[in-house]
Chain A
Amino acid sequence: MANVYFAPAGATLAAYLTGEIDHHSAQTLRREIDAQIDARLPELLTLDFSGVTFMDSSGVGLILGRSRRITGLGGKLSVQNVSPAVKKMLDIARIPCVTGGDKP
C-alpha cells in the first residue's frame, strides 16, 4: 500500500511518496502523478521518498517513466530523501539521487 501527497510551489511540484512501492501500488501512483503533471506542467517534479518503507524495481520503472514524461514536456525530475534500501535499488539502475531531466 502506497500513497502520494502533492505540494505545488510555483513552477515546482513536490510529490511525497509513502508506504510500499511495488508493481501493485506503482500503477496507482503512476496515474496520480501523471494526472498532476498534466494538470500543472511543472518545470521541476521532485519525488520525495522519505516516507517510503519498501521499494522494488517497480519503483525504478515509476521514476524512469515519470522522468520520460516530464522531459517530453520540457521539465525536469529529481529524486530526494531516499533510504539506504531505496538507494541500493537506485544504484543498480544508476539513477542519481538528484536526477536532472537530461539524464536517465
Chain B
Amino acid sequence: MKMLNSVKLTFASRSVNEGFARAVVAAFLVPLDPTVPQMADLKTAVSEAVTNCIVHAYPDSIGPVTLTAALYEGGLVRITVSDRGVGIADVEQAMQPMYTTGNPEERAGLGFAVMQSFMDKVKVSSTPGRGTRVTLSKRLDSK
C-alpha cells in the first residue's frame, strides 16, 4: 500500500498539548476533505490516546510523546501515539470499558473503548518499563 504523506512530531506530556495534538491531526487531514463526523472521530481518538500518555504513561513526570500520522492510498489514515513511560502489564485488562487506574471520581475509564468505537482498528503494544504504542487506523470514505 502506497504512503502518500506522513508527519511525525514529539511533544512533552503536558496536558496543554492535548489540544495541540488534535489540531495537528486535524490540519493533516484537511486535504482529504473529511466529513465533520469523521474529523470529530479522529480528533477524539487521538485525544484519548494522548491523554493516556499524559495521565498514565508518565504519572509523576514529564516525558516525550511521539505522534505520527500517515495517509495511504484509498483514504486509509494511520496514526500512532507512543511514549517511553511505565508501560501496561495487562493490555487486555487496560482496554476493558470502565477499567481505570486513574482517579475513579474523575476518570471514566473509557479511553480505549472510545478509540475502538471511533476507529476501524486499534492496536496496542506495550512493554512495562519501556513504553506503549497505540496504532489507530481508519479508512475515510472516498467521495
Interface residues of A (CB under 8 A from B): 1, 20, 22-27, 30, 54-58, 60-62, 64-65, 68, 84-85, 88-89, 92-93
Contact = CB atoms under 8 A, between A and B. Distances in A.
A46 B43 CA distance: 27
Interface stretch (B64-72, B106-114, B124-132): B106-114
B106 A62 contact: yes
B19 A24 contact: yes
B110 A23 contact: no
B22 A23 contact: no
Given A84-B37, A89-B114, A1 B48 contact: no
Contacts of A88: 40, 118
Range, interface on chain B: 20 to 34
Given A56-B47, A64-B108, 7 more contacts: A20-B22, A25-B19, A54-B22, A56-B48, A56-B51, A68-B105, A85-B36
A22 B28 CA distance: 20
Contacts, number: 68
Contacts of A30: 106
10 contacts: A22-B18, A24-B18, A25-B19, A54-B22, A56-B51, A57-B108, A57-B114, A58-B51, A68-B105, A88-B118
B111 A57 contact: yes
Interface string B16-49: 1011001000000000000011001001100110
Contacts of B18: 22-24
